[in-house]
């Protein structure tokens, strides 16, 4: 499957927007930067000619084969193409933690999300497990455990047996 560089596409859209709107913002980079989250959201929902009329936010959602999506994500890594956020989310790659300052009272993001968390990656054994250790410089409450090991178990029956046995 083709690995499309969504970052480059957004950068072009952003560049064109800045060129069109710079005068409205008095050429203030700070003022224009404040518009970037809304601009990105707008870009995600516009039909894209470079995607055959599909909106960027819908591109990966058309696929429902988890193995295909995860293999596709690995292709992005192998080809050194920035991995689109939606593909990462759909493959469950990582478990982001967000600062409460990123959210409004309604629970929606009010600024670009800045990932952080009480743990940091220590070791990854592809298709086996991932180990995270407590990050003591975390801004919030410190984790109560020193480390967490997340095991990859592809077979649903084996996962259920591991869960029942508290593995």
**Given CA atoms 143, 147, 151, 157 in this order, what sign does their dihedral have?**
negative
Are residues 22 and 35 in contact, defined by beta-carbon separation less than 8 angstroms? no
Higher-scoring residue by pLDDT: 97, 155 = 155
- C-alpha to C-alpha distance for 79 and 71, rounded to whole angstroms: 12
For the chain, how many helices (H) and strands (E)?
A: 6, 5
Global pTM exceeds 0.85: no
| 93 CB burial (10 A radius; 0-12, 13-18, 19+) | middle
Q: What is the pLDDT of residue 93?
A: 45
pLDDT, tens digit (0-9, with 9 covering 90-100), for 85-101: 766 665 554 555 566 67
pLDDT at 148 over 90: no
- C-alpha to C-alpha distance for 117 and 97, rounded to whole angstroms: 5
pLDDT at 37 over 80: yes
pLDDT, tens digit (0-9, with 9 covering 90-100), for 110-140: 665 545 577 777 777 778 887 888 888 877 7
pLDDT, tens digit (0-9, with 9 covering 90-100), for 74-85: 888 888 888 777
**Given CA atoms 99, 101, 104, 109 in this order, what sign does their dihedral have?**
negative
For 55, the token pair is 């909106």
For 81, the token pair is 């193409």
Helices (H), the chain: 6-21, 29-33, 36-44, 66-78, 85-91, 156-164
pLDDT, tens digit (0-9, with 9 covering 90-100), for 15-33: 999 999 999 989 888 888 8
Q: Could you tell me the maximum CA-CA distance found in the chain, to the nearest angstrom?
A: 64
């Amino acid at each position: 499957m083709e690995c499309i560089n969504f970052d480059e596409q957004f950068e072009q859209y952003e560049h064109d927007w800045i060129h069109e709107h710079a005068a409205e913002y008095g050429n203030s980079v700070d003022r224009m930067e404040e518009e970037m989250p809304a601009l990105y959201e707008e870009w995600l929902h516009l039909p894209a000619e470079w995607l055959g009329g599909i909106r960027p936010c819908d591109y990966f959602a058309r696929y429902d084969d988890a193995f295909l999506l995860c293999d596709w994500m690995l292709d992005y890594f192998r080809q050194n193409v920035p991995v689109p956020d939606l593909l990462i989310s759909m493959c469950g790659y990582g478990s982001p933690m967000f600062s409460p300052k990123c959210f409004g009272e309604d629970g929606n993001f009010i600024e670009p999300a800045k990932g952080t968390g009480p743990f940091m990656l220590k070791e990854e054994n592809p298709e086996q497990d991932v180990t995270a250790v407590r990050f003591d410089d975390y801004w919030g409450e410190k984790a109560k455990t020193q480390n967490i090991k997340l095991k990859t178990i592809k077979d649903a029956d084996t996962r259920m047996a591991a869960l029942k046995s508290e593995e």
